[in-house]
Amino acid sequence: MKILLISPCEDPNIKQQKSVMFPQLALDLLAGLTPPGHEVSIIEEEVEEIPLDANYDLVGLSCMTSNAPRAYWLAGEFKKRGKTVVMGGVHPTILPDEALRYADSVVIGEAEGVWARLLEDFQNGRLQRTYHDPCPSLDRYVSVKPRTGLKKGIFHVVPVMTTRGCPYNCDFCCVHDIYGAAVRHVPVTNVVRHMVDSGGRIFMFLDDNIVGDRRYAEELFEAISPLKIKWVGQASLSFVHDMELLKLARKSGCGALFIGLESVSEVRLGKMRKSIHKIERVGEAIQKLHRAGIYCFASVVFGFDEDTTRTFAETLGFLNRNHVGSASMNVLTPYPGTKIYQQFRDEGRIFTDDWKYYNHNTAVFKPKNISPLELIAGRIWARAEFTKISGVMKRFAANRAHPLLHFAINWASRRSSLDQIRDFPRIAAEIAKLEGRSPAERRSPDGYRYEDFIPI
For residue range 303-351, list pLDDT tens digits in order: 999 999 999 999 999 999 999 999 999 999 999 989 999 999 999 999 9
Confidence of residue 176 (pLDDT cuts 50, 70, 90): low
Domains and CATH numbers, the chain: 2-132 (3.40.50.280), 158-435 (3.80.30.20)
Burial class (CB within 10 angstroms; exposed 0-12, middle 13-18, buried 19+) of 109: buried
- Residue 173: what pLDDT? 66
Q: What is the mean pLDDT of residues 82-100?
A: 97
Q: Has residue 39 got a pLDDT over 60?
A: yes
Q: How far apart are the first and last CA of the chain?
A: 58
Q: What is the mean pLDDT of residues 152-165?
A: 79
- Residue 239: what pLDDT? 86
Q: Has residue 35 got a pLDDT over 70?
A: yes
What is the percentage of the chain residues whose pLDDT exceeds 70?
A: 89
> Residue type for 450, please?
Y
Q: What is the pTM of this model?
A: 0.92
Q: Which among 138, 127, 229 is positioned nearest to 184, based on CA atoms?
A: 138
Pairing of strands 163-164, 184-185: antiparallel
- Residue 269: what pLDDT? 53
- Residue 153: what pLDDT? 55
> Residue type for 314, please?
E
- Residue 249: what pLDDT? 97
- Residue 13: what pLDDT? 85
- Residue 169: what pLDDT? 60
Q: Has residue 154 got a pLDDT over 60?
A: no
**3-state secondary structure at position 245:** helix
- Residue 181: what pLDDT? 65
Residue 369 is given by DSSP the state S
CA dihedral over 307, 309, 312, 315, signed as positive or negative = negative
- Residue 16: what pLDDT? 67
Q: What is the mean pLDDT of residues 7-24?
A: 76
Among 260-269, 324-333, 379-388, name the one with the lowest average pLDDT: 260-269
